[in-house]
């Protein structure tokens, strides 16, 4: 299994809907997880971090971590066309370094 896996999509949702982005990880990834958003032609931007089991909410974004299932997700409520981007899931690399292991990203399109 790859260290961090994401469905590459593309994922298309109508404006106002909930977009659900998913990520699974292997035992080689530590227990810190991050979601980044990357607009076309731009660098990634950190939108959420999650370290504990359960949900973490920030505005329209909710990150969910399930350590037993090795699963991380990001929910975007009331999706807007401006949310259209590639979303990258990342986990900390084992070994105590600050290195992150990235999934390949899921491209989200929110249709007006």
Instruction: Kindly list the residues in this chain that would bind other proteins in the complex (CB under 8 A).
Output: 30, 32, 34, 36, 42-46, 49, 88, 90, 92, 97-100, 102, 104-105
Nearest distance, CB of residue 14 and other proteins, angstroms: 25
Nearest distance, CB of residue 17 and other proteins, angstroms: 25
Q: Which is nearer to other proteins, 82 or 97 (CB)?
A: 97
Tell me which residue of 15, 34, 10, 38 sits closest to 91, measured CA to CA.
34
Q: Which is nearer to other proteins, 10 or 59 (CB)?
A: 10
Residue 61, strand partner residues: 58, 76
Residue 3 contacts by C-beta under 8 Å, 6 or more apart in sequence?
A: 25, 26, 28, 29, 91, 93, 101
CA 91 vs CA 13, 14, 30, 39: distances in Å = 26, 29, 6, 20
Nearest distance, CB of residue 44 and other proteins, angstroms: 5
Q: Which is nearer to other proteins, 88 or 110 (CB)?
A: 88
């Amino acid at each position: 299994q790859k260290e961090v896996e994401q469905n590459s999509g593309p994922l298309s949702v109508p404006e106002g809907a909930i977009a659900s982005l998913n990520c699974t990880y292997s035992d080689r990834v530590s227990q810190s997880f991050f979601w980044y958003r990357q607009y076309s032609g731009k660098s990634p931007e950190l939108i959420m971090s999650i370290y504990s089991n359960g949900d973490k909410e920030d505005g329209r974004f909710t990150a969910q971590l399930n350590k037993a299932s090795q699963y991380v997700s990001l929910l975007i409520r009331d999706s807007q066309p401006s949310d259209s981007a590639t979303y990258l899931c990342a986990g900390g690399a084992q070994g105590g370094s600050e290195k992150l292991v990235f999934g390949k990203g899921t491209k989200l399109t929110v249709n007006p």
